[in-house]
Copies of this chain bind each other. A is one copy, B any other.
Amino acid sequence: MTAALTVLPLTGLPEIEPGDDLAGMVADAAEAAGVTDGDCLVVTSKVVSKAEGRLVAAVTDADKRAVVESESVRVLRRRGDLVIAETRHGHVCANAGVDLSNAPDGHAILLPEDPDRSARRIRDVLLGRGVRVAVVITDTFGRAWRMGVVDVALGVAGLRAVVDLRGTLDASGRELQVTEMAIGDEVAAAAELVMGKARGVPAAIVRGLDPSWLGDGSGRDLIRPPADDLFR
């Protein structure tokens, strides 16, 4: 069925350490899994941050709070230990994206400095090997109003993170009014469904995206400009 979407967990990646050539390792694993033109590789920011050495010492609670403060450009809400803050990139999330729980003892993991660049590195390695893929770097975010967390896109390469369907006709020939689909975030969520079931799998291949969605994009396209945002 050609219109189907397939999401494959990308197994075979070793535990990632600071300084690792993550792009090369992901490319190797993806090739072993049969990656092909038009596929979208999804990689969690956790392993990207580890490879890029985005670890800082944070032993005491005061250390941890200081790390979160230093990563925040704007705090939206505080309740007890919970801080909802805007990161330097513009994403709004818990602890400004600082991971205090999955890091090696005495450390915190920061978000990648430039998630689009991290995505491009992986895409470029595979382009160099003759395979044209899209890449999405994800993180797990909570949401206003809704329970539970979902994976979202922080950085993209070769994918239009938001696709404007304005002007597309619906089944009855009327112009669609709901217009801008957050494709990057939906791809991240779909990939999490296979990464979530097999813990320790930090990457997935999403196969079967509409070819018109492939092209230039940025994770920044998913950030609502504060001036337009009714909740910031």
Q: Mark A127-155, 1 if CB is under 8 A from B, else 0.
A: 00000000000001001111111111000
* Bound form: Cα–Cα A1–B204 in Å: 13
Whether A199 contacts B5 by the Cβ 8 Å rule is no
Question: A119 on the interface (CB 8 Å rule)?
Answer: no
In the complex, which range does the number of interface residues on chain A fall in? Answer: 35 or more
Question: A62 on the interface (CB 8 Å rule)?
Answer: no
Binds B, one of A24-32, A51-59, A64-72, A182-190: A182-190
* Bound form: Cα–Cα A181–B152 in Å: 12
Q: Mark A185-213, 1 if CB is under 8 A from B, else 0.
A: 11101101110111110000000111000
Question: A15 on the interface (CB 8 Å rule)?
Answer: yes
Question: A41 on the interface (CB 8 Å rule)?
Answer: no
Whether A177 contacts B5 by the Cβ 8 Å rule is no
Nearest CB of chain B from residue A179's CB, rounded to whole Å: 8
Question: A22 on the interface (CB 8 Å rule)?
Answer: no
List of B residues within 8 angstroms of A111 by Cβ? none
Determine the residue in chain B with the shortest Cβ distance to A8. Answer: B4
Contacting residues of chain A (1-58) with chain B, CB-CB under 8 angstroms: 1, 3-9, 15
Nearest CB of chain B from residue A156's CB, rounded to whole Å: 12
Whether A3 contacts B198 by the Cβ 8 Å rule is yes
- A-B pairs with lowest CB-CB distance, top 3: A171-B200, A148-B182, A101-B177
Nearest CB of chain B from residue A225's CB, rounded to whole Å: 8
Asked, given contacts A4-B8, A143-B144, A185-B150, whether A199 binds B168 with beta carbons under 8 Å apart, the answer is yes
22 A-B pairs whose Cβ atoms sit less than 8 Å apart in the complex: A1-B8, A5-B6, A91-B145, A92-B145, A101-B178, A102-B176, A143-B143, A145-B223, A145-B224, A145-B231, A146-B185, A146-B222, A147-B182, A147-B224, A148-B163, A148-B181, A148-B182, A148-B185, A150-B186, A183-B196, A186-B190, A231-B231
